[in-house]
Amino acid sequence: MRALIQLQNMMALPCGLTREAAPANIHYMAYSFLMFDFGGNEDVAQQARHKADGWRQGFRLDKKLQLKFDRKEPEAKQKTPSEPSPKAAAKGDARGKAHAKPKSKSGGEDAPKADSNSEPLQEIHVMVRLDFSDHEKLSHQRWLDRIPTEEPFKSAKVKIVRPGDPDYEKISDLFDSLD
């Protein structure tokens, strides 16, 4: 009887391919984040979104490559000496009204543009999250290298945040909170 119990215990022990992996063998690869600062250029940010959507569809990266926008209002700055005084602005408005009608009749080519000195209305940050599993390390690294070198992303400032970086938890929470 005792030999039968020992035989049953030996058969109950996991062996071969059915054995569960020890926790030391399991390496979970966390997300990597690429943060792009497009300043106030909404058009380039939308081109970047379109490019990422094309990659997701073409390379079947639905859950592996996710992109979210973080739009922030710029901090209010104090009036600088380069800004015109109210009297100068009133004179400029009077001159602008006299010349506005001929320009508008020319087909609308001279649409009102923001001054080069004015600050953008919003700061646009695009966050890309890469979520590749542990056995896809090479693909993960290739996408980390490729995305910042592509055209719409090339013009933006990039910051790569990987697991273990000091800002990783903060960036991960921010990405989860965005729509």
| All domains of the chain in start order, with CATH | 27-73+118-177 (3.30.70.600)
For residue 62, the model assigns a pLDDT of 92
- Nearest partner of 65 among 1, 150, 151, 127, judged by Cα: 127
Query: How far does Cα 104 stand from its chain's mean position?
Result: 39
* Nearest one of 81, 85, 61 to 143, comparing CA atoms: 61
The CA–CA distances, whole Å, from 1 to 5, 8, 9, 98 equal: 7, 11, 13, 110
pLDDT tens digits in sequence order for the chain, 179 residues long: 666 565 555 555 555 566 565 556 555 667 999 999 999 999 999 999 999 999 999 999 999 999 999 998 877 554 444 555 444 444 444 444 444 444 444 444 444 444 455 555 889 999 999 999 888 999 999 999 999 999 999 999 999 999 999 999 999 999 999 98
At a CB cut-off of 8 Å and minimum separation 6, what does 66 contact?
128, 129, 131
69, 126 Cβ separation under 8 angstroms: yes
- Which of 66, 64, 68 has its CA nearest to residue 139? 64
pLDDT at 55: 96
CA distance 37 to 160: 12
Distance, CA of 81 to CA of 74 (rounded, Å): 19
Task: Give the tokens for residue 40.
Answer: 């106030």
